[in-house]
Structure 1
Amino acid sequence: MAECSNGQSRRFGYAGSVAGDDAGAGTDAGRDCAPPQHALLAAIVRSSHDAIVSMTLDGVVTSWNRSAEELFGYPAAEMIGRHVGVLWPENRGTEQDAVIASVRVGKRVERYRTWRLRRDGTAIEVGITPSPITDDSGAVVGIAAVCRSVSERERAQARYRGLLEEAPDAIVGINANGVIVICNAATERTFGYRRDDLIGQPVELLVPEAARELHIRHRAEYMAHPQLRPLAGHSQLTARRADGTLFPVDISLSWVETDDGVLAAAAVRDVTERLEAEAERDRLKAQAERQRLEGRLQQAQRLESLGQLAGGVAHDFNNLLAVIVNYAAFVSEEIEMAAVADPDRWHSVARDMQQIQRATERGIGLTHQLLAFGRREVVRPRVLSLNAVVSDVKELLIRSIGEHVQLLTELSTGLWPVKADPGQIEQVLVNLAVNARDAMLGGGILTIGTRNMIVGNEAGLPAGRYVAIRVEDTGTGMPREVIGRAFEPFFTTKPKGEGTGLGLATVYGIVRQAGGDVQIASEPGVGTTFTVLLPATDEAPAELEAPVVVGIPSGGGETVLVVEDEPAIREVARRILRRGGYEVLMTESPLDALDVARAHDGRIHLLMTDVVMPKMLGKDVAERVRALRPDVKVIFMSGYARPVLASSGTLEPGVTLLEKPFSEAELLQTVRQVLDGC
């Protein structure tokens, strides 16, 4: 019996079976012959709070302690000699066979978690640590397993460890001394270190060398007063990989009290891709903005070139129109007198002259539009209220758009004043209203509104206060490609012969010349909104004087010196002035005018000079004549005076300009006003 007992001891390392108090404990002789250390070991196994089970290499149970009885519900007598597989769920057999096979060949198996079946059929989660049982020669003769039920706390900790491992950000746990005590799989991927190489190392290993000394101070300050710091996102931080490369990171910090003191957790996010994406987004945004600005610049350059062309054409064209309009007027007078004696003969001729005069008026209008589009027209700005301009032109707009279009106005109170030419603003409103009317052939609503706006650096405008005029229609709308060309001169979507293509181009030129901008918002089938922005002024609006209607004023024999290089214009001016009761001195060149000014015996009351002439400009002629005759008054005539008299678009103070083409009434009224000092 002693031999048997000792053999049992050699095979399993302790008394053959241990359970309850006595069950399967062996014979007294067995205990008497057992060495004292074996008895002690048996007592430890018997009293352990962990379930301890031993089995043969084939999985037959050879010992079963009290805790195993409590954990699995089987008494020792029922389990000893039975295969341990009775505890295995159906889906765990392969797993357990692999564990037994590993232990059988002496491999170390770490504690693992699995499920077991109790005697009543319920499943429990357990943690098992298997180990081999060897004999005196070291051969594996059995298997011992320590089992413990997995508590809710352990399951929670396991879940936390799982979450830690699954986290996309690198998470590093640091103790009060700055030593890394825990890290996750993302830390290995992010920094290129093995986990075992990081545990126990100072966290400064992950910090660029140049910043380590500063980092130590910041770390000590944080550990002294820890607090939650979320991902910054706005501060540029840098980390260091195992290969020495640096990369940008966002870092959040949290902390927890443990038995070993404060543990800080740093979540480190590699933001290289994010910063590259942001840089690419900024690059694309800058590229789009650059292309937008280049497009606007190209459009501005194209319009500037066309404006210069318009100015050059206008100078000569207006001279021609001045001749046509006035000679047509002279002929009409003769026809009217002849028609008194023979109406049948001259009635049709009078109608023909009316057609000539209408065509001339259209030519004058086109010339003005060209100059306005090209920002070459001389403007006479004054401080005004856009509400007043809208109210004044409302009746004209109603007549222009027809009965099938309803006109609504939405005028804001407290509107800031602007400085602009009221006639030009009226032209802007008329052009936009007519454009809207043509987009609502079946009827619709046209709304004109005003409001104050604070504008940033938008649409090429300086930041500041602006007043907006909104002209909105419910018409057909415009596709994107039409919007892009809407302000181009002579571009029109109307049938041939129904539009000049200068309406919106004129609007653009007038508004830009006034220091503002025009914006278009349109959608096919919905309608179009034009928004005109004009800079506000701090000046107070001027009081408007009621216009005085008078007939054509006549002269009182005053002497007028006319300087004009175009013979036809000279003759027109001579005839009109003499018919109006003035003495006329005619010269065709600036030098001749100076000679006349020196040689004329009587007084010269007025100098009328063309602005652009060969050898000398009109304003130089005026200065030299005034040097000879200081009391002479001056009227400038021009079809395109801006480059000389109004380089900024506005006439210089004290300058009177008679724009070509002028009528007889316009010339005589201007002369009378200047001579009378009005």
Structure 2
Amino acid sequence: MDQDRTNGRAGADDDPRSFELLAESVGTLFWLADWNTHQLLYLNGAYERITGHPAEELFEKPSAWLARVDPAHRDLIVNDMLNEERQGRFDRTIRIFRPEGEARWVRLRGYPVCDDRGRVTHLAGTGDDITERKNALEGLRATRDAYRSLAENAGDLITRHALDGRILYASPSMEDLLGFEPGRTIGARLPEWLAPEEVEAMARRGLERLDSGQPELFEFPVRHRDGSRRILQSSCRLLFGEDGQPQEVVAVSRDVTKQQQAAQALVESEERFRQLAGNIDGIFWLVDWKSGRVIYQTPAIERLWGDDPVESADAPFVWVTRVHPEDRPLLQQGVERLRSEGRFEATYRIVRPDGELRWVRSRGFAIHDAHGEIERLAGLAEDVTDRRRLEERVQQTQKLESLGVLAGGIAHDFNNLLTGILGNASLVLEQLPADSGAYAMIQEIDHAARRAADLCSQMLSYSGRTTLVMRPLDLTGVVRDILPLLAAPLRGTVVEYDLDERLPPIRGDATQLGQIVLNLLTNALEALGDAPGSIRIRTGTGFVDAATLRESYLKEELPAGDYVHLEVADSGCGMDLDTQRKLFEPFFTTKFTGRGLGLAAMLGIVRGHGGALILDSAPGEGSTFRVLFPAREGARVTRPEGTPVRKRDATDATILVIDDEAVVRSVAERILRDGGYRVLCAADGQSGLDLHRDGNGSVGAVLLDLTMPGLSGEEVLRELRRRSGALPVVLMSGYTESEVGGPIRELGYGGFVRKPFASRALLDPVREALAAREGPRPGFPS
């Protein structure tokens, strides 16, 4: 019986051996069962290979194989086999389990076997292990689902295109990017969304670039459904069929409109920054902290530094060598502040390639990385040279003004004191015979008082409170007029003269300009000392630019133009920078003797003439002083002419003296009484007005001090003019006549006496005022 089963005779007409050889040589499961009894008649070896169970168990128990079937599939396959209507025809895929538990998928198919009368007698079937195929399909399906999920949920637009541009597939992002429903775009052509100018270009470039089979990146403008213009960036790849021919194009696209706009805005912003950076004076810079390499700096660096000091990688800190050696510690301090505070500020000097010094103010801050470490240093540098010069000028001006006020105040008070000495000395000299033993001593007192008065005059010159009689002058002529006064001191000294006889005139005060010549030559002689040397005196004219004028000691904003100059140079010991800075300060002197006011007073005279002073000196190389005065083309040089004084014999006129200084009142009273006048004295303005009122018109003239406590000289003069407009009033002051203000000039006065004064200096203005009592003098003479 077993032999019958294995040979599968079961009524087969074919050669049993041939059938068996065929069935055993293939991997497909073959089986044959009796339709009526369900007895298994044949089963090839594939059963054991597929299920892992022996075939003998089925011949003993035909239903044993159902135990190997997944319970979910058992009823299905049993119904398929026993279904009368289909007579055993079925095709079912079931899952079975091998002994070790491995699941396998098997496709079972059944076929009815009929006799000659068409009746079903047997049920034949086949089975194929499709596990690998099914797993591959499942993997492919999972991959497909994953890709579909990815495509449908991606923010980018994923499309498939036929070679003629028709859309075969579009992901849902189509609606977000272009405003179209994906389903309605199937079959549409890509050019319908391209901007017209891009259609031809895309067609020309597209396939040419895709032929390599590698992904290619395209950027092109498209039209949104709402009509707006968008920029798409697409990564495209050409897919080839099994025959190697191009089949379709897959594209992944994203909207880069905002990125393009941002990039364009960045480009425009950078261009604006370059234009701004190229036209501002400040220098923006960015430096790598560790290497010191300059990452960026604005073009203004060349205007400030004189060239472009961008350093190489081998010498990243070479620009520091341009910083003035004295100021380099300031930079080091700035670096230390940067480490501790994260920012720094420093003002220092740099030396340009041409040797010019410039002041630079740098402000910087640290840029930190993600770990809090300093990564870069950014900052701004600006040229503050002009600002520093302005500050120096302001400081110098304030200093000069303060010292000028002090010097002027001291000179005024000293002049009041000297009035008593000089006035009384002049009275005594007029009364003593020349052969008197005391005459010479009084002369010494008079001489000393006049020297003190000269000192006060220099102090007033420094303060700018001097009377300047301005007229066109020849500077060479002024020098020649002064030289005889220095003939004796200059004897034995080599003096070189280079005096231009064809100078344009300058407008100045001859006495004050003579003082400048005298002071410069005296200073040159003292610089030579006892050592042999030479002095050069030169006059000339030429154009002077604004930069040179700004470097002068006065540092005034003088206009560029033609200037006449006086130059005095000596071969003496010279001066260092510290001495030069202090040289024109009042009372500063390098000598053991002297008052230290000559050069300071000279600076005040130069300022009063709208000029400038330049000094060039160095230790051991001598000094050169160059004084500049604006040239006055077309003006005629004049020489001062004597003004005849109309003298009148003393009368019995009454003179009212109003001054708050007792010594001045006493001297004035003696001089006036000695001159034949009656005198009334008042210690302040109100007392003077009271005496004038009580005199009932007997006062012939008033000698009035300008500066008094209580009622000022101007207030007293105003009241006197209200009472008697023609009353002669002679003003007195320790300052000069130029200090007389506009309101006083409008009121008018008959003369001016500067303190200290001798008898003749007081009597002459009083006589002139009385002689001209027919009308007040309108202001001071021109």
**TM-score, normalising length: structure 2:** 0.47
Is the CA contact 2:499–2:538 (under 8 Å) kept in the aligned structure 1? yes
1:132-155 residue CA offsets vs partner (Å, 9 max, x unmatched): xxxxxxxxxxxxxxxxxxxxxxxx
1:550-585 residue CA offsets vs partner (Å, 9 max, x unmatched): 999752333322211212211111111121122323
**Displacement after TM superposition at 1:637 (Å):** 0.5
**Which of 508, 511, 514 is matched with 1:423 structurally?**
511
Letter in 1 for 2:540: T
Q: 1:414 to 1:313 in 2, by over 3 A?
A: closer
Letter in 2 for 1:277: I
**Displacement after TM superposition at 1:612 (Å):** 0.6
**Displacement after TM superposition at 1:240 (Å):** 11
Is the CA contact 1:605–1:631 (under 8 Å) kept in the aligned structure 2? no
**Which of 613, 618, 632 is matched with 1:518 structurally?**
613
Is the CA contact 2:419–2:664 (under 8 Å) kept in the aligned structure 1? yes
1:156-186 residue CA offsets vs partner (Å, 9 max, x unmatched): xxxxxxxxxxxxxxxxxxxxxxxxxxxxxxx
1:623-670 residue CA offsets vs partner (Å, 9 max, x unmatched): 22122222222211011357951589x999877321100111211222
Is the CA contact 1:605–1:633 (under 8 Å) kept in the aligned structure 2? yes
Q: 1:662 to 1:511 in 2, by over 3 A?
A: same
Whole-Å Cα distance in 1 between the matches of residues 509 and 566 of structure 2? 15
**Displacement after TM superposition at 1:358 (Å):** 3.2
Letter in 2 for 1:614: P
Moved more, 364-373 or 284-293: 284-293
Whole-Å Cα distance in 1 between the matches of residues 750 and 219 of structure 2? 87
Q: 1:619 to 1:333 in 2, by over 3 A?
A: same
**Is the aligned partner of 1:462 residue 2:558?**
yes
Q: Which residue of 2 aligns with 1:435?
A: 523
Matches within 5 A, 1:175-190: none
Whole-Å Cα distance in 2 between the matches of residues 383 and 517 of structure 1? 18
**Is the aligned partner of 1:583 residue 2:678?**
yes
* 3-state SS, counterpart of residue 511 of structure 2: helix
Letter in 1 for 2:662: P
Q: 1:472 to 1:667 in 2, by over 3 A?
A: same
Whole-Å Cα distance in 2 between the matches of residues 654 and 590 of structure 1? 16
Q: Which residue of 2 aligns with 1:388?
A: 477
Q: 1:653 to 1:382 in 2, by over 3 A?
A: farther
Whole-Å Cα distance in 1 between the matches of residues 414 and 597 of structure 2? 17
Q: Which residue of 2 aligns with 1:295?
A: 392
* 3-state SS, counterpart of residue 439 of structure 1: helix
Q: 1:540 to 1:468 in 2, by over 3 A?
A: same
Letter in 2 for 1:417: I
Whole-Å Cα distance in 1 between the matches of residues 269 and 734 of structure 2? 76
Letter in 1 for 2:528: M
Letter in 2 for 1:634: V
**Is the aligned partner of 1:373 residue 2:462?**
yes
* 3-state SS, counterpart of residue 484 of structure 1: helix
1:378-433 residue CA offsets vs partner (Å, 9 max, x unmatched): 43333433233223223224345344242524125141332x32211111111111
Letter in 1 for 2:757: F
**Is the aligned partner of 1:562 residue 2:562?**
no
Whole-Å Cα distance in 2 between the matches of residues 612 and 317 of structure 1? 14
Is the CA contact 2:475–2:503 (under 8 Å) kept in the aligned structure 1? no
**Is the aligned partner of 1:277 residue 2:365?**
no
Q: Which residue of 2 aligns with 1:445?
A: 535
Whole-Å Cα distance in 2 between the matches of residues 283 and 550 of structure 1? 59
Is the CA contact 2:503–2:564 (under 8 Å) kept in the aligned structure 1? no
Matches within 5 A, 1:628-667: 628-640=723-735, 645-646=740-741, 656-667=751-762
Is the CA contact 1:378–1:651 (under 8 Å) kept in the aligned structure 2? no
Q: Which residue of 2 aligns with 1:363?
A: 452
Q: 1:598 to 1:453 in 2, by over 3 A?
A: farther
Q: 1:243 to 1:410 in 2, by over 3 A?
A: closer
Is the CA contact 1:406–1:444 (under 8 Å) kept in the aligned structure 2? yes
Matches within 5 A, 1:105-504: 272-273=296-297, 275=299, 277-278=301-302, 281=305, 284=360, 286-332=383-429, 336-337=432-433, 347=437, 349-406=438-495, 408-411=497-500, 413-418=502-507, 420-441=508-529, 442-456=532-546, 458-459=549-550, 460-465=556-561, 466-494=563-591, 496=592, 498-504=593-599
1:94-113 residue CA offsets vs partner (Å, 9 max, x unmatched): xxxxxxxxxxxxxxxxxxxx
Q: 1:523 to 1:300 in 2, by over 3 A?
A: same
Could you list the runs of 5+ residues in structure 2 that have no partner in the other structure? 1-217, 221-263, 276-293, 306-357, 361-381, 551-555, 773-780
Whole-Å Cα distance in 2 between the matches of residues 380 and 408 of structure 1? 28
* 3-state SS, counterpart of residue 658 of structure 1: strand
Whole-Å Cα distance in 1 between the matches of residues 637 and 700 of structure 2? 32
Letter in 1 for 2:732: M
Is the CA contact 1:316–1:639 (under 8 Å) kept in the aligned structure 2? yes
Q: 1:509 to 1:327 in 2, by over 3 A?
A: same
Aligned-pair identity (%): 34
Question: Whose Rg is larger?
Answer: 2
Is the CA contact 1:311–1:376 (under 8 Å) kept in the aligned structure 2? yes
Q: 1:653 to 1:571 in 2, by over 3 A?
A: closer
**Which of 708, 724, 727 is matched with 1:613 structurally?**
708
Q: 1:279 to 1:602 in 2, by over 3 A?
A: closer
Is the CA contact 2:651–2:677 (under 8 Å) kept in the aligned structure 1? yes
Letter in 2 for 1:368: S
Q: 1:546 to 1:312 in 2, by over 3 A?
A: closer
Whole-Å Cα distance in 2 between the matches of residues 435 and 391 of structure 1? 18
Considering Cα pairs closer than 8 Å and 6+ residues apart, tell me whether 1 or 2 has the greater RCO. 1
Whole-Å Cα distance in 2 between the matches of residues 616 and 599 of structure 1? 18
Could you list the runs of 5+ residues in structure 1 that have no partner in the other structure? 1-199, 203-238, 250-269
Whole-Å Cα distance in 2 between the matches of residues 652 and 384 of structure 1? 32
Whole-Å Cα distance in 2 between the matches of residues 304 and 603 of structure 1? 44
Q: 1:514 to 1:444 in 2, by over 3 A?
A: same
Moved more, 396-405 or 519-528: 396-405
Moved more, 280-289 or 565-574: 280-289
Letter in 2 for 1:583: R
* 3-state SS, counterpart of residue 477 of structure 2: helix
**TM-score, normalising length: structure 1:** 0.54
Q: 1:320 to 1:393 in 2, by over 3 A?
A: same
RMSD of the alignment, in Å?
Answer: 4.1
**Displacement after TM superposition at 1:331 (Å):** 4.3
Q: 1:409 to 1:623 in 2, by over 3 A?
A: farther
Is the CA contact 2:576–2:618 (under 8 Å) kept in the aligned structure 1? yes
Whole-Å Cα distance in 1 between the matches of residues 755 and 648 of structure 2? 20
**Displacement after TM superposition at 1:454 (Å):** 4.6
Q: 1:355 to 1:243 in 2, by over 3 A?
A: closer
* 3-state SS, counterpart of residue 561 of structure 1: strand
Q: 1:552 to 1:398 in 2, by over 3 A?
A: farther
Is the CA contact 1:554–1:668 (under 8 Å) kept in the aligned structure 2? no
1:346-399 residue CA offsets vs partner (Å, 9 max, x unmatched): x3x555444433332232122111111122334333343323322322322434
1:72-94 residue CA offsets vs partner (Å, 9 max, x unmatched): xxxxxxxxxxxxxxxxxxxxxxx
1:107-128 residue CA offsets vs partner (Å, 9 max, x unmatched): xxxxxxxxxxxxxxxxxxxxxx
